[in-house]
Each structure stands twice: as structure tokens, then as C-alpha cells.
Chain A
């Protein structure tokens, strides 16, 4: 498969707890993005982190990137029931690859219990 890998595949937490999901990829990248997909709906962009950045924050979201390990993590703090969704990382290859192929991970299904 051309997809990146995410873990855990599924995560169930109580409202108010933090949720952490991880993404590993195989090739060198330009950017890494995280998307959310609610059941039966389209994907929504959450945050983009560039290859020269190590950490980025947006509201309750915190993303880290370790290019030496080819991995990223997404932390959602103080989770809410509305955060229940599937979360995907997506990488775009660097300029030298000559391709425009974005590679999505297999996703983490998060369930936040009220």
C-alpha cells in the first residue's frame, strides 16, 4: 500500500481527556497536514506543519514533527464529543521527487464519550 501508517487505529476516551495519535511516513516530505473526517462527510483540514518546523499549535490542537524519525503526532486537548471522527495525516513529497502525490495515512478513529 502507498499509505502512511497511523496508530492507534482506534481510540476511545472520556470527554475532557487528551487524545494523542501518531503518524509515520516513508519518504522525505515538504509539508505534513492533519485532516478530520466525520462519519459520512468530507475531510476538513486541521493544521499544516512544514518540514522545517518541529511543533505547531492551533487552539486545542498540538502537532509535532520529527523528520529524522519520519513521524508526526497530533494531540487534542480537553476533548469534546464533537471531536469524534477519523483523523488522517497527509504528506506531500519534496520538490525533488517530481510528483504531486499526497499520501494519506490509514487513519485513527477517535471516539469521545460524553
Chain B
């Protein structure tokens, strides 16, 4: 079946512009994560949704970052007034319903959106 898709794959923005990054998770996946990955580093957690509820946004680096998942499926990560330090690959991952541990297990990642802020 179809995996996690993200769009656009590449985005170039001028400093100060707003951008919106889209994630289409695997159908039926309850959990959705956003990560930021700088060059040569591992992904860093940004935020987590369980269906439409944003249960953890502790990783969002500033109030310029906003994420939503209004119908519990597609999610959008919005970055306002982009800065050069926002340049990174933004990864979305989804996961099946939570297991008995109460935590998501295997995450399925999309290809990412590479954001370059000039």
C-alpha cells in the first residue's frame, strides 16, 4: 500500500516568508510525528498527534512553528517568518494505534521536505 507522503519535497523560502509543509500519513495510523533533521544529525522531535489531538509539542523550537491535524489524518507544519536556522529536512512519521505499552511502536517515515531559507 501507499506509504507516508510529504509535499513539497523541496522548498526554498526567502527569510521572513511563511511556509506550510504537508504530511499524508498511512491510512488508519493514529499516531503522527514531526521531526527536524539537520545535516549530519539525527532527527529531532518536534511534535506528536494522536488522531486530531496534539498531545506533545514540547519540541517546537519557537512560537513561529505551528502544527495541526484537524481531521486526524493529513497534517500540516507551518513555519512563520522563516529564519536561516530553520533550514533542515522536516520528516513526518506515522504509526499504528498505540500498543499496550501506551506508546507507538514502529514509525513509518515519509521522504521529508528539504527546506532552504535564503
Instruction: Decide if A and B are genuine partners.
Output: yes
> Interface of A with B (CB < 8 Å)?
2-4, 30-31, 33, 35, 41-45, 48, 50, 88, 90, 92, 95, 99-107
Chain B contacts with A in 73-118, Cβ cutoff 8 A? 91, 93, 101-112
Residues of A within 8 A of B111 (CB): 41-42
Given A42-B110, A42-B111, A42-B112, A101-B45 contact (CB < 8 Å): yes
Chain A's closest residue to B106 (CB) is A45
Determine whether the beta carbon of A104 is less than 8 Å from that of B44: yes
Chain B contacts with A in 60-81, Cβ cutoff 8 A? none
Residues of B within 8 A of A90 (CB): 42
Determine whether the beta carbon of B42 is less than 8 Å from that of A107: yes
> Interface of B with A (CB < 8 Å)?
4, 33, 35, 40-45, 48, 55-56, 58-59, 91, 93, 101-112
Residues of B within 8 A of A48 (CB): 105-106
B103 touches which of A30, A43, A104 (Cβ 8 Å): A30
Instruction: Give Cα A37–Cα B12 distance, bound, in whole angstroms.
Output: 23
A31 touches which of B44, B101, B108 (Cβ 8 Å): B101
